Structure 1
């Protein structure tokens, strides 16, 4: 409630989805995101939409997805938009789901800088089973 500004009811609801003994993991998730251009409000909205994100290992779950998006040549603002707009992307495996989906989409369309930018509006497509 204090860190994320959740009303009491929302905090109680979120607590049914996530449990942690210390604030070490949640703090490391926030620190990693802030160091990669995420604003506090964006992090708060992501936690509200997908509470388990604060208990994940940021270097195993979050960082590889950020690095993959950047490796595609996306500007940091687009990477942040994609990862903020699609909470289900954190439930998906990078190697088994996201990269194969990206490669499939790439095989269908000629992806360039302009079309990569439009992916921020359709990021859910990376979470689909093609």
Structure 2
């Protein structure tokens, strides 16, 4: 028996629909059987649980170290732990030893760490030592240097080549080396400021107003 053309087309269309429906049903069944979303959720929860435990352990270690090795109060240690996380005591021990070697007492070290907790994770040899040696060479007295650093530990967060030395040379162009030390003792903020943006324009203004260089120099300390 010969079927009309439109009947063949209808038959093909019906077969295609059935085939597609069956294939879709098969795919849904297989995907549902594997339950990938359920597995993914389990892995996510497990990973989050492990991560939370590790973070809690590191936080507790950091707080204990700040109390036992740095002399901070429990309240101070909890507050400072928001800004630093220690993986171990090795690097922090080296930082404390370096500060002690350069004349800081335990009380002064405690103040430095309290003001600048991130100093504990700084590289003692590459980052801190060159700055400590520079300031030690500028300030004659180890006691004065310890007091300066205790008063403004943020000095150690500035780049030696890009900030500290240029600031020192700028001051030396205005005042004597002795007076630079006086500036460090009384107002070391100038080593933290952007001198081109804040200091130089003020000095230029004083010069335009006719202030003698000797008065400008005295205003820096």
Give yes or no for the alignment of 1:27 onto 2:75.
no
* Offset of residue 74 of structure 1: 2.4
- Structure 2 alignment gaps of length 5 or more: 1-66, 196-221
Matches of 1:84 and 1:116 in 2, distance apart? 18
Matches of 2:173 and 2:106 in 1, distance apart? 36
Equivalent position SS for 1:74: coil
Whose radius of gyration is greater, 1 or 2? 2
Matches of 1:14 and 1:67 in 2, distance apart? 27
Q: Deviations over 1:44-68 (max 9, x none)?
A: 0000111111111111222111111
Let me know the Cα RMSD of the aligned residues.
Answer: 1.6
Partner residue, 1:54: 120
Matches of 1:68 and 1:8 in 2, distance apart? 34
Determine if contact 2:158/2:192 at 8 Å carries over to the other structure: yes
Partner residue, 2:194: 129
Q: TM-score, normalised by structure 1?
A: 0.88
Does the C-alpha gap of structure 1 residues 103 and 22 become closer, same or farther in structure 2, counting only changes over 3 Å?
Answer: same
- Give the total of aligned pairs: 128
Partner residue, 2:84: 18
Partner residue, 1:5: 71
Matches of 1:125 and 1:25 in 2, distance apart? 30
Matches of 1:73 and 1:13 in 2, distance apart? 32
Partner residue, 2:131: 65
Matches of 2:123 and 2:104 in 1, distance apart? 17
Matches of 1:20 and 1:74 in 2, distance apart? 34
Hey, which of these two has a bigger chunk of helix by percent? 2
- Structure 1 alignment gaps of length 5 or more: none
Higher relative CO (Cα under 8 Å, sequence separation at least 6) belongs to: 1
Aligned match of 2:185 in 116, 120, 124? Answer: 120
* Offset of residue 73 of structure 1: 5.1
Runs of 4+ in 1 over 4 A off after TM superposition: none
Matches of 1:55 and 1:63 in 2, distance apart? 14
